[in-house]
Structure 1
Amino acid sequence: MKRILLFIILTYFNPVWAQQKTNLTVEKIMRDPKWMGVSPENIRWGEFDGHIYFRWNPENLDYSPLYSITVRDQEPKRQEEDVTRSFTQQTQYNRSGNRAVYVKGGDIFIYDLKTRSEKQLTATIEEESKPQFNVREDVVFFKRENNLYSLSLINGELKQLTNFVKGSKKKGDAPKLSDQNQWLKENQLTLFDVLNDRKQKKHRADSLEELQRIKLLRELPIAENEIVRTIAASPNLQYIAYIKYSPAKDNRNTIVPNYVTESGYTEDIQTRNKVGEEQGATAAYLYKVKEDTVVRITTANLEGIKDIPAFYNDYPEKKDSLIKLDKDRAVNIAGIYWNPVGNKALITVYAQDHKDRWLTLLDLSTGALQMIDRQHDDAWIAGPGIGGSWGGENVGWIDDHQIYFQSEQTGYSHLYSMSVDSRVKKQLTKGRFEVQDLVLSKDKKTFYLTANKEHPGITHFYSMPVSGGTLQQITSMKGGNEVSLSPDEKWLAIRYSSSNRPWELYLQENRPGAKAKQITESRSAEFKAYPWRSPEVISFTNRHQDSVYARLYRPETPKKNSPAVIFVHGAGYLQNVHYWWSSYFREYMFHNLLTDLGYTVLDIDYTASAGYGRNHRTGIYRHMGGKDLSDQVDGAKLLVEKYQVNPKNIGIYGGSYGGFITLMALFTQPEVFTAGGALRSVTDWAHYNHGYTSNILNEPINDPKAYQQSSPINFAEGLRGHLLMCHGMVDVNVHFQDIVRLSQRLIELGKNNWELAVYPVEDHGFVEPSSWTDEYKRILKLFEEKLINE
């Protein structure tokens, strides 16, 4: 009895000791994530009501209800779902910031901030979008379906500004008659005067109607297969620029069979095409309203428009052919940005081969684009805020003569401004860090930005004058700070997390030194019962003399055979070595389990990971499985030399891109890795999608060497260790066909030290807890059975 009482007392007064008795299992980790508690998400400010709205699920329901707080009342209160109908979207303020137009429920509204009054401007079945004030602020123009409209705030007059028409067939066009029927028609008109008179009257009426229609609103023709992607009216309503997109024709899509269906029949899923297929094309036009004329926006004057990418130096015959053709490179016209008064338009253009981004000014008389900045990269253009096929672009006007934009000119994505008159460019932020998000204040005097200035794995919110200067750090919590600025720019709603605590909502005044107050507590008691580790963030120098960051989990008592596991994150361009809660939270918990079992675990932000600048991002150009793989090998060497890991007992695993690296590791580095788990892996890059792959490896037909040296299927003969492959059968990202083709290759090579686990109802990202559990039980079994050398 005394021993029982002593145990209870120790447990009560030593909660850390009690927590350590809570053992992890794969079954516990891989349950529905709600067991952990559900973090707040979709955080947004009410534009005019002072509320912060967010989705949260503290009651562990089947869905996440809507909650809100205010600055004065910070206790979360559950809201009725119909509140979302009052949410504003696409809000645009006038210059003084005292009026705003916005979309709500598909209609246009205007709000007066002084009188706190709202007025509905449209009430239609059609969806309206993208409202904006004209330069005099007496008209609101907006998009309805495929056209632009203007609405006078003085007399309520509604005008249609564009008239996009599919095809070129005119109203009243009659089908062509056969020779016989044409003779009969002419004979009738000869015989009967009344028919001839009626025809002449109808012709005059039709001609008058056509003249009146053309006089009022010009038709802007679009082909049957074309899409009007962008329509942008100048604030003075004198010009309308628009971009048409023509999808590629006759591209072949991959079919993914779905075997487990409600119908009982196998149903085909039409998915994407493969890299190298023909790409769609954009064409841009300028409609001059007063002149009632349309001109094509042309890119022929752009510097480097005829340049031949450097990789063609490896293919002299192809390069000679391109030189002889002397053709402009294919480009995509992306963004159209009018200055506040509407007499200048900034247009962004990207090369389809991904090597260039041009910032241009539109010549309003000729439609020609005049380059004001060119960012070129022999690899590919990307990076935070830069745009292209990998993300959005932070571009805009500070005033009528100055623009701002981001560029990797110095090797890191930084903020720049430029006078479009003098073409003088000014770098506003500097250093070995990235500007990851950007907001220009309503009064156009301050930039608010998110950057990893303190450390690659820590993000903070900063302010800076638009003219440049010292960055003022506003947030202070070490970890990840996702900030939503209040409409009056006085408060910050912060979604914050650390490496061992999931995301929570905090509220803070928008000033340096202000303390953030925690609003939500989402962790379940069961989740808090285990002492989750804060992995050690380390760095090491790889064989190329580059700094590489990693998360390290070290066991208190290693297994006697000193095994280690290296985890490879997915996506390639993604950051997982940081001080905030990982999107790979299941893997994070699995690493805690492995550490409990005596494994050392290393999680590397290998070459091509996000957060470290241009050189790190493009280090895999034309060779996936090059530097990104050698970083894993160098990490294994570090484990052996510094952390006493047995070199015969190193395993590796990962999903998607991580699965690809695992295959390359087992096939090309068998002396380093004893066992590996390759999940939802790309096995042949020539079968992946265009938008991602063509950036890094160009196109298979143009750069076959890059695909040859980057695709695991070409190196399968090197398999010596133990390989587990897992793949969802309805994966519409990395198709199941990928793993089937590799399996056939392994069969033909006579390899027998591999296995394939398939998941019939799973896409790329697994959903069912039973699938997650089965997959990770197999991974754990692989390591427990194969990493046993003494």
Structure 2
Amino acid sequence: MIRNLTTIVFFLTAGLCSFSQSSDLSVEKIMQDTNWMGTFPSDVKWGPHSENIYFDYNPENNPADSLHRINLKNLDSIVRVSAKEKKEIIPNNGDFNSSRSMMIFSQDGDLYIYDLRSRKKEELLDLNFSIQNPEFLMDDEKISFAGENNIFLYDLKNGKIKQLTNFKSGSEKGEKEDEVSAREQWLKSENLDLLKVVKQRKENKEKGKAYREAMENEEEFTFHLAGKDLRNLNLSPNAEYAGFSLIKRESNKETIVPDYVDESGYTVDLSARSKVGDIGFTAELGLYDLKRDTVIMIDLSGLPGIKDLPDFTSDYPDKEWEEKEREIIPSRIYFSENGNKAVVN
């Protein structure tokens, strides 16, 4: 198997590189236009049945790359994929069931299932938001997926969808006082005094709002993101926990680079990356306990060596170094197959 794969890669590379010209490499050659190097494939991926290899390629020097494929039964033929065939290609980033006979994936925001034996694709869900990261769970009877910053569970037997998490943007509920000037406030009060109908409508509106808030289920847990970005949201195989990370962007000053040759004819300021060493954000890791309906933010301050000084400090024995926690950027929680244990990246 390894020998066959090596042969395939060799023929693929040899075939695609045949367009390039052999020449001695020099500084002058490197500084020239890159056309002398020829064209190379990118984003190489397998088809779902391991019969075709797909890749982006541009042997004709078109303005952009286009999708091509090579069939393993005819390695000498590089075929450009048509628009119709491209729509029918099954993505290779889906999730297989335990027997690897079915695969689920998200395409154009909708949920699909693909039968590898019959080679038939079926749409399962078309919701009013984009479906992401679908996975088989619970003996392949249910499918978890993310959407609108939350995790949902879809039952393949009865077709029911259940929302498991309750993330919401913004902060905890709190009324913001209207910031109006003294003149605006006087006009508002004068208008309400003169127009009793408007005043009555305002009172009824406030009473209705107070009633709705009183009728809300206070026991429903909601985790407010408070301006942070939700990332790496994933569900444990037993559907009892959900892992996630929160990213808080720092309002750092940007480096501005002037563009003197903008098509508008004016000098335009371009934003460049911040200075080296400036992270620009902080990250937190959280665990959503679905049984207890609560969130636990993971404390990383107890990690071994988190306050150890860097080795280079030993070169400056006379300097007093401040002991502080290192900056850590956790990214994701990985659950075991039964969902009872997890590791952190």
Which interval holds the TM-score relative to the shorter structure? Answer: 0.7 to 0.9
2: distance between equivalents of 1:56 and 1:319? 57
Within 5 Å, give how 1:75-474 maps onto structure 2.
75-85=77-87, 86-124=89-127, 126-170=129-173, 173=175, 175=177, 203-208=210-215, 210-211=216-217, 214-215=219-220, 218-224=221-227, 226-249=228-251, 251-277=252-278, 279-316=280-317, 319-320=320-321, 322-323=322-323, 327-348=324-345
Distance 1:127 1:89, change over 3 A: farther
Identity in percent: 34
Q: Deviations over 1:296-350 (max 9, x none)?
A: 1111331112212222223446544x24xxx4332111221111221111112xx
State the Cα deviation string for residues 516-556 of structure 1 (Å, max 9, x = none).
xxxxxxxxxxxxxxxxxxxxxxxxxxxxxxxxxxxxxxxxx
Work out whether residues 253 and 273 of structure 1, in 8 Å CA contact, stay in contact via their aligned partners in 2.
yes
The question of whether the paired residues in 2 share the 8 Å contact of 1:66 and 1:81 is answered with no
Count of residue correspondences:
311
1:211, distance to aligned residue in structure 2 (A) = 0.5
Whole-Å Cα distance in 2 between the matches of residues 272 and 246 of structure 1?
17
| Closer, same or farther: CA 57–271 of 1 in aligned 2, 3 Å | closer
Aligned pair in 2 of structure 1 residues 198, 63: CA closer, same or farther (>3 Å)?
A: closer
1:115-137 CA-partner distances (Å, limit 9, x unpaired): 33322123246432211112332
Equivalence for 2:6: none
Equivalent residue letter for 1:267: V
Going from structure 1 to structure 2, the CA distance change for 1:309 and 1:153 (only over 3 Å counts) comes to: same
- SS for the counterpart of 1:277 is coil
SS in 2 for 1:118: strand
Deviation of the 1:289 alpha carbon: 0.8
- Paired residue secondary structure (1:90): coil
Give me the whole-angstrom Cα distance separating, in 2, the residues matched to 1:264 and 1:244. 41
The whole-number CA distance in structure 2 between the counterparts of 1:307 and 1:174 is 44
The letter for the 1-side match of 2:152 is Y
Does the 8 A contact of 1:235 with 1:341 survive in 2? Answer: yes
Q: Tell me by how many angstroms 1:88 deviates.
A: 0.8
Q: In the alignment, is the contact (CA less than 8 A) between 1:90 and 1:131 conserved in 2?
A: no
Quote the Cα distance in structure 1 between the aligned partners of 2:265 and 2:206.
62
Q: CA deviation at 1:174?
A: 6.3
> Could you give the per-residue CA deviations for residues 573-629 of structure 1, whole angstroms, max 9, x where no partner exists?
xxxxxxxxxxxxxxxxxxxxxxxxxxxxxxxxxxxxxxxxxxxxxxxxxxxxxxxxx
Are the aligned partners of 1:312 and 1:319 in contact in 2 as well (CA < 8 Å)?
A: no
When residues 197 and 254 of structure 1 are mapped into structure 2, their CA distance, relative to the original with a 3 A threshold, is closer
Inter-partner Cα distance in structure 1 for 2:256 and 2:332: 33
2: CA distance between counterparts of 1:115 and 1:106?
A: 24
1:135, 1:340 within 8 Å by CA — same for their partners in 2?
no
3-state SS of the aligned residue for 1:84? helix
1:616-695 counterparts in 2 under 5 A? none
- Distance, in Å, in 2 between the alignment partners of 1:255 and 1:193 is 54
Between structure 1 and structure 2, the one with the greater Rg is: 1
Q: Retained in 1: the 8 A contact 2:57–2:65?
A: yes
Distance 1:152 1:318, change over 3 A: farther
Gaps of 5+ in 2: 1-20, 193-198
Q: Give the RMSD, CA atoms, in angstroms.
A: 3.8
Instruction: Render the CA deviation track for 1:145-201: whole Å, top value 9, x for unaligned.
Output: 422222221122122222322222538x463699x99x999xxxxxx9999999767
Indicate the SS of the match to 2:93: strand
Change (3 A) 1:82 1:230: same
- Native 8 Å contact 1:236 1:341 kept in 2: yes
Residue type matched to 1:97 in 2?
R
CA-to-aligned-CA distance 1:25-82 (integer Å, 9 cap, x gap): 9988766444554233332112247321123344454444332222334322222145
Q: SS of 1:148's equivalent?
A: strand
Structure 1 Cα separation of the partners of residues 245 and 29 of structure 2: 52
Q: Which runs of 5+ in 1 are unaligned?
A: 1-18, 186-191, 349-790
Q: Is the 8 A contact 2:44 2:54 kept in 1?
A: yes
For residues 201 and 107 of structure 2, the distance between their equivalents in structure 1, rounded to whole angstroms, comes to: 57
User: What's the secondary structure of 1:110's corresponding residue?
Assistant: strand
TM-score (norm 1): 0.35
Query: Where do 1:663-742 residues align within 5 Å?
Result: none
Structure-1 separation of matches of 2:287 and 2:24: 66
